[in-house]
Structure 1
């Protein structure tokens, strides 16, 4: 992975941020003002959408667009990819409420900010309920903005977006259900990852980007195979970062998957391998994270997952190695697969 990949990713991030800033400061702000609402919620939502993030979703949209013969300076795929970024913002807002998360991208989550506002102003009713309700509403509003923007895409791209968004909801449903039950079938972790992350993080953006490109139609089968492999690698790396990542880099608390009994591939491997007191440790929501990390290393779960990620990255690179795409697009996609598997944040 050379410096050109990181420079390209940084350029895409800048272009997406510029587009989102313009969207919030003109169209969305005009809508907000027309209802005579205060600026507090709007400012929080704007910061949630623009203040940070890898912008990997619009990047995949752009790289598939370039692979299909699209122009580097053409903003068509950048704008389309930004719709997936807003879908991600919606998902994070609701996910933080569901997971009772206090921070996101090293900042207070929306429901926490609203709860603190309730206390500061001495408002009536439950501060926690107020905070959660306001965050849910802002998440809903963000999803409506996604629908509005997606409506300007070609019909086939709209269908891809709808399917990706729907699978995200299905994945979140499965995530909540398995977390509540505390037990799951060994295939559930993989299914949850594919539904909740891979579909709207990699595969959906790729197919939309290719659909906007002059020669993109021929790339669809190759990008589907690539997208599924990279999406899984991306989620599996997330599973490791949840326990072994640096909170200052990830921007969110460490250890949430264990505390909430999430159906992750890492924990699934460990549960198959571990018995006795160590097994009980993995089922506790107040388990010492250092002890959990030791168990995961000693039982070989971490090493096995690293091998799975390595295999998925190789599968992804092989999927596009001989695809009828531009050389530059292929190079970016191969580097992106490695980035998804190796990233530290």
Structure 2
């Protein structure tokens, strides 16, 4: 199981009021909230028929399988950095909503990508397709599995909305924008993959809305708004957009060169499905040979990886990630925040940009 992003002090501090320990305690309450909520829903929905548990159990299994809780962590950090009360239940509800929304996105992404594994386990659609086939039910196993996954993802989205509505009416605009950006970004990702158009600017925009804003900028803003300091949006946007691009580039590198045992999902999937990732867009823009090969009729993933190494693209992307992290940290260092929280957000930037899973 992957560890949460901010549960341990980065400097080894034993101070219970250190930023990392404050975040860790709040994230522990988020875990409790998610599990208690799903357990209550399961008890309620199975009063009519035990089979109604299936989509709820799918959400519970995915949440139990681990994950870094990156979005709740940035939401909690933004809230506490802005002076929010650590005892608040509102921030727990908001951070829980972000993780539930992420659960929805993962389930639907796995259907879109036809991915068989997530966090080392069968994906929701794969597991239920196998169940259908094993039981010899009527209809097509694949369609049944994908139907269960779509409905489970929709249920997670409903739960996310319910949780966020319990936090504060002041979050409505930021929450609506976050969800809209996520869906539009995902749609554009699908379209660009289908067209396989080498557009670096568009790939960067998709990375910003799918990763930067959804993962970092908007969660930070939701936290700061809940704490009564929406004026921090500018600093959090600059930090989130830079770090979000770094986050996406790391994701692309892990897909191309990672270890499936570490990532918990198949590697090379983006290359095999001819996705125009930010990494691939940069590679094609930088090197004509890579562009001609990738746009050709035959695209061998192993050869693509070799070209990324041989042409220096992989090394250049690592250097670009370094620059993006420094840019994000500079934005936070210039923000009107306590120095301890500037250091904490700087450490979080390093964690997400240089992760290996």
Structure 1 residue 287: Cα displacement: 4.5
Q: 2:24, 2:105 → 1: CA distance?
A: 23
For the pair 1:122 / 2:136, whether they are aligned, the reply is yes
2:223 to 200, 209, 213: 209
- The answer to whether the 8 Å contact 2:101/2:160 transfers is yes
Q: 1:171, 1:296 → 2: CA distance?
A: 25
Structure 1 residue 12: Cα displacement: 5.1
Structure 1 residue 288: Cα displacement: 4.3
- Greater shift after overlay, 199-208 or 216-225? 216-225
For the pair 1:25 / 2:39, whether they are aligned, the reply is yes
1:162 to 141, 160, 176: 176
- The answer to whether the 8 Å contact 2:248/2:278 transfers is no
Against the structure 1 CA distance between its residues 75 and 343, is the aligned structure 2 distance closer, same or farther, given a 3 Å change threshold? farther
Partner of 1:83: 97
- Greater shift after overlay, 58-67 or 177-186? 177-186
Against the structure 1 CA distance between its residues 205 and 35, is the aligned structure 2 distance closer, same or farther, given a 3 Å change threshold? farther
Structure 1 residue 162: Cα displacement: 1.1
Partner of 1:227: 240
How high is the TM-score relative to the length of structure 2? 0.89
Deviations 1:290-309 (A, max 9, x none): 43222101112112211221
- The answer to whether the 8 Å contact 1:77/1:212 transfers is yes
User: What is the 5 A alignment of 1:54-65?
Assistant: 54-65=68-79
- Greater shift after overlay, 189-198 or 321-330? 321-330
- The answer to whether the 8 Å contact 1:65/1:213 transfers is yes
Structure 1 residue 14: Cα displacement: 3.3
Against the structure 1 CA distance between its residues 296 and 250, is the aligned structure 2 distance closer, same or farther, given a 3 Å change threshold? same
- Greater shift after overlay, 74-83 or 162-171? 74-83
How many corresponding residue pairs?
Answer: 342
Q: 2:200, 2:124 → 1: CA distance?
A: 34
Give SS of 2:167's match. coil
- The answer to whether the 8 Å contact 1:62/1:209 transfers is yes
User: What is the 5 A alignment of 1:241-320?
Assistant: 241-276=254-289, 278-279=290-291, 281-283=293-295, 287-320=299-332
Bigger RCO of structures 1 and 2 (CA < 8 A, at least 6 apart):
1
Runs of 5+ unmatched residues, structure 2: 1-9, 14-18
Structure 1 residue 176: Cα displacement: 0.6
- The answer to whether the 8 Å contact 2:203/2:278 transfers is yes
Runs of 5+ unmatched residues, structure 1: none
- Greater shift after overlay, 3-12 or 34-43? 3-12
- The answer to whether the 8 Å contact 1:258/1:282 transfers is no
Against the structure 1 CA distance between its residues 74 and 117, is the aligned structure 2 distance closer, same or farther, given a 3 Å change threshold? same
Against the structure 1 CA distance between its residues 243 and 32, is the aligned structure 2 distance closer, same or farther, given a 3 Å change threshold? same
- The answer to whether the 8 Å contact 1:188/1:263 transfers is no
Q: CA RMSD in A?
A: 2.2
Partner of 1:337: 349
